[in-house]
Amino acid sequence: MAQNFAHGNYSHTQKKARNGGGGRTPRDRARRTLSQNFLVDRHAVELMVKAAAPEGLVLEPGAGEGALTLALAEAGARVVGYEIDPLLAGKLAARARRDPRIDVVRGDFTAARAPREPFAVVGNIPYSVTSKIVDWCLRAPAMTSATLLTQREYARKRTGDYGRWSLVTVESWPWFSWRLGDTIGRESFRPVPAVDSAILRILRRPEPLVRGRRSYQELVELGFGGVGGSVRASLKTRFQGVDAALAAAGVARDAVVGHVHPDQWIMLWERLCR
């Protein structure tokens, strides 16, 4: 069943995929504007479903042509697929109209109200709105996990795979774990994007690792503020006992913020804020 929802615009600037044809059709241009790179590799779909282990309610941003939507339903999930392209949403709704496990919403996923019941998010999402979708997921109180197919560079940055940690990951770490999954090559999509993708898993922890959300996030934001060029210099602008806390957490006195592991931030919070 198709539902109308708040429409938005997914703009995406991406290198043009090489092709042997001539000019672009209006449909080709629409796909480019909406950042549409459809997952056409069955094995890649299977890897997404395996990583997500779907059950219960699943929200899918960017349902597109429905390859992942149908696979999630076949795996036992109750799927609400969001698609901003009215033509694609209509086609998918018609395709799934006899399947009670699937609802199709015509509109912008990031404008949706999060369900109150526990749910997961699974999707091959547009590169251009990755951060917006991730932020939506982190704010949803009932979200249990997010399994997102993102640009590989983004997934590596958020999971510390470059040996550095980002503010988004560190700030959310007491409540969510971040895991890097399988790489999905660019050849698994049509049109072919300019870069490879990877599966990013964000899982809500059964119990938070800290109890003081505001004090923890203020500590992290201060550390990432960049005052003095090191974590030590930044924290010393507000806290006493910083050197002892750094030593207890195993953080070097000259450590730059990106090299401090999220678990070490929790130790710093326990020493400085509790």
Residue 45 burial class via C-beta count within 10 angstroms: exposed 0-12, middle 13-18, buried 19 and up: buried
Annotated binding residue 55: no
With left for phi above 0 and alpha for psi between -120 and 50, is residue 184 left, alpha or beta?
A: beta
CB 199 within 8 A of CB 142: no
Q: How far apart are CA 219 and CA 266, in angstroms?
A: 10
Single-letter amino acid, residue 56 = G
Residue 121: how many other CB atoms lie within 10 Å: 26
Instruction: Tell whether 62 is in a known binding site.
Output: yes
19 is in an annotated binding site: no
Do the annotations mark residue 4 as ligand-binding? no
CA–CA separation, 101 vs 242, rounded Å?
A: 54
Q: Closest Cα to residue 172, out of 258, 242, 266, 260?
A: 266
The C-alpha angle 216, 219, 221, rounded to 5 degrees, equals: 110
* CA distances for 160 relative to 197, 212, 250, angstroms: 16, 24, 18
Q: How far apart are CA 110 and CA 43, in angstroms?
A: 28
Question: Which residues make up each annotated binding site?
Answer: 37, 39, 62, 83, 108, 124
Annotated binding residues for S-adenosyl-L-methionine, written as ranges, equal 37, 39, 62, 83, 108, 124
